[in-house]
Structure 1
Amino acid sequence: MSVVSIQEKTNLGKRIKSIHTLGPTGTNCEKAAKLWFEREGINGEVILHKTLEEAIIQVKNTENSALLGCAVYPKLHNLVFANLAHIELVDSFIIPTYNMVLAARKETDMHQDCKLASHPAPVDLAYTFSDNILLVNSNSQAALDCASGNADACITTITAARKNNLVIIKDFGEVPMCFTLHAKGK
C-alpha cells in the first residue's frame, strides 16, 4: 500500500484544470467544485453531467481532470472501487451545502399523494411530506422537474428553487457535507 505524501497530493491537485461533477447548474457539487478551485487558486473549469457515472468516463479519458463527488451520493463507493486502476482520492473537504428546501410551483398544501421530485440522497426529507416520490439525478433536476410540471413539489437547493421561480414551502437550512475529489492516478 502506498501512502500519498502531502507534497504529492499538492502537486497532483495543482495539475487539475477541470472538475467533472453533478449538474445541471445549481447543485451542491457544482458549488463545491468552484470553491475547491478558488481555495487552490486555480482558474479551472467545472463541467456538469447528468450523473457522476457519466462524469467518471470523461475523467478517465481527459488529462488534468478530476471527479468531484458528494460523500452521500448513492453508490459513490462503486465509482471509486470500480475505477481504482484509473483514479485516486486526492482531496476531501467539508463545506455547507446550499440551504435544502421543499419547494413547489405555487403555495400548496402538501399531502401524501403529492408527486414530489427528489435526488436519492435527501429523499428521506421528501418522505416526510409524500409517499409519491419521483427519483431524479440531482437536486437541480428536481427543481427543473417541478417547474415543468413533472412533479407537484421537490426537495432541492434554495439556489435551484429560486432559479426556477419556485415557492419555498420549508427551508431545512444548510447541511455540513463532505465532498471528495478523485483525479487520474500516476
Structure 2
Amino acid sequence: MGLPTFLSKVGLPSTEAETVALLRCDEVSEVRCFVLGPRKISNIPQACELWLRQNGLEDKAQLVIGERPDHYLLEAQAVHEPGVVPVFWTCAVYGKEKELFFGDAVNTHMFLFSQVMPLDHMQLACLPGKLTLEAVRTICDLELLPGHWKRLASHPSPKPLLNGLLDHNPQTTWVEANSNGFAAEMVKSGQADACITTETARLEQGLERLHDFGTPDMVFFGGVTKHGVELLKRVHESLSLATIGF
C-alpha cells in the first residue's frame, strides 16, 4: 500500500469559479452530492442546494442522503461511473473534519468547493404543550430544566450550547444525534426530552421552540473524490487544447 500522498491539484483551474464552470460542461453528466440527513432538514443539505442553485447545477445534480460524513465519504469514493463527479459535503465545525482530511479523504480535494450560509435557526426545542410559559422562562433565564427531564439530544458540534443546562441539571444527560434533524426525530419519538435542532426540522417534527440560539454564518465544504478530480482535469485539458487550436 505505501504511505499516503495528498491528491495533486496540478491540472485543475486556479480558481474555484473556473472549476465550478467545468461542472457545467457536457462531459459532466451528473454532480452527485453526498450530504447529511435525514432528508433535507439539516444545514449541510441546505447549503449544498444553495450552492447548486447559485452555480446553475440543479438540473444535473442528485443528492444522496447519509447518516454521517465519514460514512458517505466512503460511498462517494465508491462511485466510478463515467461522467459523474461525486461531491461530499462537510462543514467547518464538524468534529471529525481533521480526521477525514488526514485519513480517508487524503486522496480527495476535500475543500475544492465552498459555500457560506447562515445556519438554519439553531434552537432548543421540545414536544409542544408540555411546559408553561413560566417553565420556559426558567429554562432560558436560569438554565433550570423540569425535574423529570433526563435526556438532551444534539449533534456533537453544537453540544457546547448545552453545557450550562447540563451543568445546572445533574439529573440530565446528553445523548448524541447524527445531525440536527435526527435530534428532532429523537424528541418526537420520545428518545430525548429536548434537543438542539434547526427551524426546518422543528417544523417538520411539530416541536415547540424554547430558545433561538441564532443564525450565524457557517462555511460548508464540497469535497471531490479522486475519480471526480480526474474527470475535471480531463475536461479542463480538453477545453485548454480546444482554446489553442489543437
TM-score (norm: length of structure 2)? 0.70
Please give the per-residue CA displacement for 1:22-64, whole angstroms capped at 9, x wherever unaligned. 1102000010011111011012112110000111011111241
Are 1:125 and 2:161 matched, yes or no? yes
Question: 1:49 corresponds to which residue?
Answer: 66
Are 1:64 and 2:100 matched, yes or no? no
Q: Is the 8 A contact 1:12 1:90 kept in 2?
A: no
How far, CA to CA, are the matches of 2:95 and 2:78 in structure 1?
23
Match of 2:46 among 3, 26, 31: 31
C-alpha displacement of 1:92: 1.6
C-alpha displacement of 1:2: 4.7
Aligned to 1:19, what secondary structure does the other structure show? Answer: strand
Q: Which has more radius of gyration?
A: 2
Structure 1 residues 88 and 168: CA distance shift in structure 2, 3 A: closer
RMSD, aligned CA = 2.0
Gaps of 5+ in 2: 1-7, 140-144, 167-171, 231-246
Are 1:10 and 2:32 matched, yes or no? no
Question: 1:103 corresponds to which residue?
Answer: 125
Please give the per-residue CA displacement for 1:51-108, whole angstroms capped at 9, x wherever unaligned. 0011101111124110011110111121122122244421122110100010001343
* Count of residues in Structure 1 that have an aligned counterpart in Structure 2: 186
Once superposed, which parts of structure 1, at least 4 consecutive aligned residues long, lie more than 6 Å away?
none
Q: Is the 8 A contact 1:13 1:90 kept in 2?
A: no
Aligned to 1:116, what secondary structure does the other structure show? Answer: strand
Question: 1:172 corresponds to which residue?
Answer: 213
Structure 1 residues 53 and 88: CA distance shift in structure 2, 3 A: closer
How far, CA to CA, are the matches of 2:212 and 2:110 in structure 1?
36
How far, CA to CA, are the matches of 2:94 and 2:23 in structure 1?
22
- Mean CA deviation greater in 148-157 or 110-119: 110-119
Aligned to 1:127, what secondary structure does the other structure show? Answer: helix
